[in-house]
Amino acid sequence: MKGTIHNEGAFLANIAKNLGRPPITEGISLPAWKNAPQREVLKHATRNDLVEELQEQCKRVHTEFHLTDSTQLKHRLNQVIEQLGDGPLIIPNDDRFSQYRLDDLLLEKDTFVWDHQAGRKNIEKAERANIGITFSEMTLAESATVVLFSSKDHGRSISFLPSCHVSIIPKSTIIARMTQAAAAIRSKVARGEVIPSCINFITGPSNSADIEMDLVVGVHGPIKAVYIVVEDK
Protein backbone atom coordinates (compact mmCIF):
# COMPACT_ATOMS: atom_id res chain seq x y z
CA MET A 1 0.00 0.00 0.00
CA LYS A 2 1.43 3.37 -1.01
CA GLY A 3 1.41 6.33 1.32
CA THR A 4 3.48 8.65 3.49
CA ILE A 5 3.82 8.36 7.25
CA HIS A 6 4.53 11.60 9.10
CA ASN A 7 6.01 12.00 12.61
CA GLU A 8 6.11 8.25 13.25
CA GLY A 9 9.35 8.45 15.26
CA ALA A 10 8.12 11.25 17.51
CA PHE A 11 4.80 9.50 18.07
CA LEU A 12 6.43 6.20 19.09
CA ALA A 13 9.06 7.97 21.19
CA ASN A 14 6.31 9.70 23.17
CA ILE A 15 4.63 6.35 23.86
CA ALA A 16 7.93 4.84 25.00
CA LYS A 17 8.58 7.83 27.26
CA ASN A 18 5.23 7.39 28.98
CA LEU A 19 5.99 3.70 29.43
CA GLY A 20 9.21 4.69 31.18
CA ARG A 21 11.62 3.06 28.73
CA PRO A 22 13.61 3.93 25.60
CA PRO A 23 12.10 3.15 22.18
CA ILE A 24 12.62 -0.45 21.02
CA THR A 25 13.56 -0.49 17.34
CA GLU A 26 15.20 -3.91 16.89
CA GLY A 27 14.55 -7.54 17.75
CA ILE A 28 10.79 -7.26 17.40
CA SER A 29 8.85 -10.17 15.94
CA LEU A 30 5.30 -11.41 16.02
CA PRO A 31 4.65 -14.07 18.67
CA ALA A 32 4.26 -17.66 17.52
CA TRP A 33 0.96 -18.67 19.08
CA LYS A 34 0.90 -22.16 20.55
CA ASN A 35 -2.76 -22.57 19.68
CA ALA A 36 -4.75 -21.04 16.84
CA PRO A 37 -8.34 -22.30 17.21
CA GLN A 38 -9.60 -19.70 14.76
CA ARG A 39 -7.87 -21.60 11.97
CA GLU A 40 -9.59 -24.88 12.84
CA VAL A 41 -13.16 -23.70 12.27
CA LEU A 42 -14.47 -25.26 9.03
CA LYS A 43 -10.85 -26.09 8.19
CA HIS A 44 -11.68 -29.11 6.04
CA ALA A 45 -14.94 -27.82 4.59
CA THR A 46 -15.37 -28.06 0.83
CA ARG A 47 -16.92 -25.23 -1.14
CA ASN A 48 -20.24 -27.07 -1.12
CA ASP A 49 -19.95 -27.52 2.65
CA LEU A 50 -19.46 -23.78 3.00
CA VAL A 51 -22.55 -23.11 0.89
CA GLU A 52 -24.58 -25.34 3.22
CA GLU A 53 -23.15 -23.58 6.26
CA LEU A 54 -23.98 -20.19 4.76
CA GLN A 55 -27.53 -21.30 4.04
CA GLU A 56 -27.98 -22.53 7.61
CA GLN A 57 -26.60 -19.31 9.10
CA CYS A 58 -28.92 -17.23 6.91
CA LYS A 59 -31.85 -18.74 8.80
CA ARG A 60 -30.40 -17.37 12.04
CA VAL A 61 -29.93 -13.82 10.79
CA HIS A 62 -33.33 -13.41 9.10
CA THR A 63 -31.87 -13.50 5.59
CA GLU A 64 -33.49 -15.07 2.53
CA PHE A 65 -31.18 -17.48 0.69
CA HIS A 66 -31.23 -18.54 -2.96
CA LEU A 67 -28.88 -20.81 -4.94
CA THR A 68 -28.75 -20.62 -8.73
CA ASP A 69 -26.38 -20.75 -11.69
CA SER A 70 -25.31 -18.04 -14.12
CA THR A 71 -27.92 -19.06 -16.73
CA GLN A 72 -30.78 -18.67 -14.24
CA LEU A 73 -29.44 -15.70 -12.27
CA LYS A 74 -31.35 -13.10 -14.30
CA HIS A 75 -34.64 -14.94 -13.78
CA ARG A 76 -34.03 -15.49 -10.07
CA LEU A 77 -32.97 -11.88 -9.49
CA ASN A 78 -36.12 -10.66 -11.25
CA GLN A 79 -38.24 -12.89 -9.00
CA VAL A 80 -36.55 -11.49 -5.90
CA ILE A 81 -36.95 -7.89 -7.06
CA GLU A 82 -40.66 -8.40 -7.71
CA GLN A 83 -41.17 -10.14 -4.36
CA LEU A 84 -39.56 -7.17 -2.62
CA GLY A 85 -41.89 -4.71 -4.34
CA ASP A 86 -39.81 -3.79 -7.39
CA GLY A 87 -37.91 -0.50 -7.76
CA PRO A 88 -36.56 2.04 -7.51
CA LEU A 89 -33.22 0.21 -7.56
CA ILE A 90 -29.68 1.44 -6.99
CA ILE A 91 -26.53 -0.43 -8.00
CA PRO A 92 -22.79 0.25 -8.05
CA ASN A 93 -20.98 0.96 -11.30
CA ASP A 94 -19.78 -2.66 -11.49
CA ASP A 95 -18.80 -4.59 -14.64
CA ARG A 96 -20.10 -7.81 -13.10
CA PHE A 97 -23.67 -6.82 -13.88
CA SER A 98 -22.70 -7.01 -17.56
CA GLN A 99 -20.61 -10.15 -17.10
CA TYR A 100 -23.62 -11.95 -15.63
CA ARG A 101 -25.89 -10.52 -18.36
CA LEU A 102 -28.10 -8.56 -16.01
CA ASP A 103 -28.03 -5.31 -18.00
CA ASP A 104 -31.31 -5.88 -19.85
CA LEU A 105 -33.18 -6.70 -16.66
CA LEU A 106 -31.90 -3.61 -14.88
CA LEU A 107 -32.69 -1.39 -17.87
CA GLU A 108 -36.30 -2.56 -17.64
CA LYS A 109 -36.44 -1.44 -14.03
CA ASP A 110 -36.21 2.00 -12.44
CA THR A 111 -32.47 1.63 -11.83
CA PHE A 112 -29.91 4.24 -10.84
CA VAL A 113 -26.22 3.45 -11.32
CA TRP A 114 -23.88 5.07 -8.78
CA ASP A 115 -22.04 7.95 -10.44
CA HIS A 116 -19.17 9.50 -8.51
CA GLN A 117 -19.52 12.69 -10.55
CA ALA A 118 -23.14 13.12 -9.45
CA GLY A 119 -22.20 14.03 -5.88
CA ARG A 120 -25.11 14.36 -3.45
CA LYS A 121 -27.54 12.97 -6.03
CA ASN A 122 -26.21 9.47 -5.28
CA ILE A 123 -27.26 9.76 -1.64
CA GLU A 124 -30.69 11.07 -2.58
CA LYS A 125 -31.22 8.17 -4.99
CA ALA A 126 -30.13 5.69 -2.32
CA GLU A 127 -32.54 7.22 0.19
CA ARG A 128 -35.45 6.80 -2.23
CA ALA A 129 -34.47 3.34 -3.46
CA ASN A 130 -36.45 0.30 -2.43
CA ILE A 131 -33.61 -2.12 -3.22
CA GLY A 132 -29.84 -1.83 -3.32
CA ILE A 133 -28.09 -4.61 -5.26
CA THR A 134 -24.41 -5.44 -4.74
CA PHE A 135 -21.84 -8.15 -5.43
CA SER A 136 -20.07 -9.66 -2.43
CA GLU A 137 -16.26 -9.58 -2.57
CA MET A 138 -15.86 -12.19 0.15
CA THR A 139 -18.56 -14.12 1.98
CA LEU A 140 -18.14 -15.57 5.47
CA ALA A 141 -20.04 -18.84 5.79
CA GLU A 142 -19.74 -19.05 9.58
CA SER A 143 -21.73 -15.85 10.16
CA ALA A 144 -23.58 -15.31 6.83
CA THR A 145 -21.61 -12.12 6.29
CA VAL A 146 -21.01 -10.39 2.96
CA VAL A 147 -17.95 -8.19 2.51
CA LEU A 148 -18.25 -5.05 0.38
CA PHE A 149 -15.41 -2.79 -0.76
CA SER A 150 -16.41 0.86 -1.04
CA SER A 151 -14.95 2.96 -3.85
CA LYS A 152 -15.80 5.94 -6.03
CA ASP A 153 -18.00 3.60 -8.07
CA HIS A 154 -19.51 1.80 -5.10
CA GLY A 155 -20.81 4.04 -2.36
CA ARG A 156 -21.60 2.70 1.11
CA SER A 157 -25.14 4.06 0.82
CA ILE A 158 -26.10 1.42 -1.77
CA SER A 159 -26.31 -1.28 0.88
CA PHE A 160 -27.24 1.03 3.75
CA LEU A 161 -30.08 3.39 2.82
CA PRO A 162 -32.53 1.35 0.69
CA SER A 163 -35.30 -0.63 2.40
CA CYS A 164 -33.90 -3.91 1.06
CA HIS A 165 -30.42 -5.19 0.24
CA VAL A 166 -29.84 -7.95 -2.32
CA SER A 167 -26.31 -9.32 -2.43
CA ILE A 168 -25.21 -11.49 -5.35
CA ILE A 169 -22.62 -13.96 -4.07
CA PRO A 170 -20.35 -15.72 -6.56
CA LYS A 171 -19.80 -19.17 -5.07
CA SER A 172 -16.03 -18.75 -5.39
CA THR A 173 -16.10 -15.86 -2.88
CA ILE A 174 -17.37 -18.05 -0.02
CA ILE A 175 -14.78 -18.65 2.69
CA ALA A 176 -14.99 -20.02 6.21
CA ARG A 177 -14.84 -17.00 8.49
CA MET A 178 -13.27 -13.67 9.41
CA THR A 179 -9.86 -15.35 9.79
CA GLN A 180 -9.60 -16.00 6.06
CA ALA A 181 -11.00 -12.57 5.16
CA ALA A 182 -8.37 -10.81 7.27
CA ALA A 183 -5.62 -12.95 5.72
CA ALA A 184 -6.81 -12.07 2.21
CA ILE A 185 -6.80 -8.36 3.02
CA ARG A 186 -3.31 -8.62 4.55
CA SER A 187 -2.12 -10.33 1.37
CA LYS A 188 -3.41 -7.42 -0.69
CA VAL A 189 -1.47 -5.02 1.53
CA ALA A 190 1.69 -7.13 1.20
CA ARG A 191 1.38 -7.03 -2.60
CA GLY A 192 1.16 -3.26 -2.50
CA GLU A 193 -2.46 -3.08 -3.62
CA VAL A 194 -4.52 -0.05 -2.69
CA ILE A 195 -7.03 -1.08 -0.04
CA PRO A 196 -10.50 0.51 0.02
CA SER A 197 -10.93 3.22 2.63
CA CYS A 198 -14.10 1.48 3.79
CA ILE A 199 -14.55 -2.30 4.00
CA ASN A 200 -18.01 -3.31 5.17
CA PHE A 201 -18.87 -6.61 6.84
CA ILE A 202 -22.65 -6.94 6.62
CA THR A 203 -24.61 -9.75 8.26
CA GLY A 204 -28.21 -9.86 7.10
CA PRO A 205 -30.63 -6.95 7.61
CA SER A 206 -30.22 -4.28 10.27
CA ASN A 207 -30.87 -5.86 13.67
CA SER A 208 -31.03 -3.96 16.96
CA ALA A 209 -32.07 -5.04 20.44
CA ASP A 210 -32.57 -3.12 23.68
CA ILE A 211 -31.67 -4.23 27.19
CA GLU A 212 -34.85 -6.33 27.31
CA MET A 213 -33.70 -8.20 24.17
CA ASP A 214 -36.61 -7.03 22.03
CA LEU A 215 -35.44 -7.33 18.42
CA VAL A 216 -36.08 -4.39 16.11
CA VAL A 217 -35.26 -4.77 12.41
CA GLY A 218 -34.38 -1.94 10.06
CA VAL A 219 -33.42 0.84 12.47
CA HIS A 220 -29.87 1.29 11.20
CA GLY A 221 -30.16 -0.12 7.69
CA PRO A 222 -32.25 -2.32 5.39
CA ILE A 223 -35.31 -4.12 6.72
CA LYS A 224 -34.82 -7.12 4.43
CA ALA A 225 -31.72 -8.89 3.14
CA VAL A 226 -31.52 -11.47 0.36
CA TYR A 227 -28.44 -13.48 -0.64
CA ILE A 228 -28.29 -15.05 -4.11
CA VAL A 229 -25.42 -17.53 -4.42
CA VAL A 230 -24.47 -18.11 -8.05
CA GLU A 231 -22.32 -20.96 -9.35
CA ASP A 232 -19.38 -19.30 -11.07
CA LYS A 233 -16.36 -21.63 -10.88
Alpha helices in 19-119 (DSSP H): 47-60, 73-83, 96-99, 103-108
Q: What is the C-alpha separation between 15 and 197, in angstroms, rounded?
A: 27
**pLDDT at residue 76, rounded to an integer:** 96
Name the residue range of residue 147's domain.
Answer: 46-231
- Residue at 68 is within a domain: yes
- Residue at 203 is within a domain: yes
Q: What is the mean pLDDT of residues 192-211?
A: 86
The answer, yes or no, to whether residue 127 has pLDDT greater than 80, is: yes
Q: What is the C-alpha separation between 68 and 182, in angstroms, rounded?
A: 28
pLDDT top residue among 220 and 108? 108
Answer for the pair 131, 164: CB distance below 8 angstroms, yes or no: yes
**pLDDT at residue 27, rounded to an integer:** 81
Answer for the pair 136, 170: CB distance below 8 angstroms, yes or no: yes
- Residue at 4 is within a domain: no
- Residue at 153 is within a domain: yes
Q: Identify how many contiguous H helices and E strands the chain contains and give both numbers.
A: 7, 12
Q: How far is CA 208 from CA 61, 136, 213, 219, in A?
A: 12, 23, 9, 7
Q: What is the C-alpha separation between 49 and 52, in angstroms, rounded?
A: 5
**Cα 143-61-100 angle, rounded to 5 deg:** 75
Q: Which of 176, 162, 146 is nearest to 39 (CA)?
A: 176
Q: What is the CATH number of the domain that holds 150?
A: 3.40.50.10420
**pLDDT at residue 128, rounded to an integer:** 95
Q: What is the mean pLDDT of residues 69-82?
A: 95
**β-pairing verdict for 207-209 and 215-217:** antiparallel
Answer for the pair 89, 103: CB distance below 8 angstroms, yes or no: no
Our count of domains for the chain comes to: 1
Residue 115: other Cβ atoms inside 10 A: 14
What is the per-residue pLDDT across 12-61, written as a single tens digit (0 to 9) for each? 999 999 999 988 888 888 888 787 777 777 777 889 999 999 999 999 99
Q: Whole-model pTM?
A: 0.82
- Residue at 95 is within a domain: yes
Min mean pLDDT across 95-99, 101-105, 126-130, 206-210 is at: 206-210
What is the per-residue pLDDT across 153-197, written as a single tens digit (0 to 9) for each? 999 999 999 999 999 999 999 999 899 999 999 999 989 888 898
Q: Which of 211, 233, 209, 232 is nearest to 220 (CA)?
A: 209
